[in-house]
């Protein structure tokens, strides 16, 4: 992972209101040094209702934290009650947007084709998708995890051009490791991340594949991040539960130190 700057992204899920968000981001910023920010890109992914407050804080205090959203609509505007568009997120200064998080797939029926439409919607508004893939426990036990993740990847990237794909972030998040305390071994993470990179080289070319950051997600904590980051094809982490404590999250951003 030589040329790729590592990315640690905190997925807050449905936690922290906009006032709590401000306190959290301030604490996080104070817990990290310029040297830390030189070494790793630090991102938070708050609920939609927090984004305006986070934008005001990050801009006002010139924080080196980037932020994004947890979801977006496949549509750009119109009669889609309750939805949030990519252009709204871009206007709020979002860098990233998750696409295909397992909780969206599981609780909101998002299939690979919807995820593909969300990836395309993100690119239409110059947002960087963090495309999440990952197998459930039964698939892992049947040794189908690599093929399953590559199939998710193929469909999600349908129609995405090489110049767009260059900026893409992929998160390998085995569903059995999300929120369970059961982290994949560093070797398990590397196995799938290296297979994803090989597939990206087939879909695009080696240069594009080498530019794309591939994260691991699933019960990452400061106590297990170092082993994960030591893997050559793992370029960072998508962190759920442990991102809700700014001091712990900062420690993860320092790879456990």
**Rounded-to-integer distance, Cα 122 and Cα 68, Å:** 11
* 103 is annotated as an active-site residue: no
Residue 137: closest CA among 148, 122, 152: 148
> Which residue, 217 or 246, is less far from ligand PEP as judged by CB?
217
**Rounded-to-integer distance, Cα 48 and Cα 53, Å:** 10
Catalytic residue among 41, 101, 103, 110: 101
Q: Is 12 annotated as a binding residue?
A: yes
Residue 134: closest CA among 122, 117, 150, 154: 150
Name the minimum Å distance from CB 212 to ligand PEP. 18
Name the minimum Å distance from CB 57 to ligand PEP. 23
- As given in the structure block, the two tokens for residue 118 are 């969300």
HSE-up of 160 (CA within 13 Å, CB side)? 29
Q: Is 241 annotated as a binding residue?
A: yes
> Which residue, 133 or 238, is less far from ligand PEP as judged by CB?
238
Q: Which residues are near ligand PEP by CB under 6 A? A: 11, 173, 178-179, 217-220, 238-242
Please tell me what DSSP assigns to residue 28. Answer: H
* 101 is annotated as an active-site residue: yes
> Which residue, 8 or 25, is less far from ligand PEP as judged by CB?
8
Q: Which residues are catalytic?
A: 101, 173
Binding residues for substrate: 11-13, 179, 219, 240-241
């Amino acid at each position: 992972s030589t040329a790729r700057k590592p990315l640690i992204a905190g997925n807050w899920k449905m936690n922290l209101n906009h006032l709590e968000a401000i306190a959290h981001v301030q604490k996080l910023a104070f817990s990290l040094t310029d040297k830390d920010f030189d070494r790793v890109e630090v991102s938070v992914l708050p609920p939609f209702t927090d984004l305006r407050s986070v934008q005001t804080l990050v801009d006002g205090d010139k924080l080196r934290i980037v932020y994004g959203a947890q979801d977006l609509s496949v549509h750009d505007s119109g009669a889609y009650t309750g939805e949030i568009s990519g252009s709204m997120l871009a206007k709020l200064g979002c860098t990233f947007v998750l696409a295909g998080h397992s909780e969206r797939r599981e609780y909101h029926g998002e299939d690979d084709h919807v995820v593909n439409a969300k990836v395309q919607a993100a690119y239409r508004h110059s947002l960087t998708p963090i495309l999440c893939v990952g197998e459930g426990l039964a698939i892992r036990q049947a040794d189908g995890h690599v093929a399953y993740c590559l199939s998710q990847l193929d469909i999600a990237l349908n129609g995405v051009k090489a110049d767009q794909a260059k900026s893409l972030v992929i998160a390998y998040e085995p569903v059995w490791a999300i929120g369970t305390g059961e982290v994949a071994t560093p070797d398990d993470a590397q196995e799938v991340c290296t297979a994803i990179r090989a597939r990206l080289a087939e879909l695009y070319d080696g240069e594009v594949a080498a530019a794309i950051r591939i994260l691991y997600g699933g019960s990452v904590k400061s106590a297990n991040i170092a082993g994960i980051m030591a893997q050559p094809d793992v370029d960072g982490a998508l962190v759920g539960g442990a991102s809700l404590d700014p001091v712990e999250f900062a420690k993860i951003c320092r790879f456990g130190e």
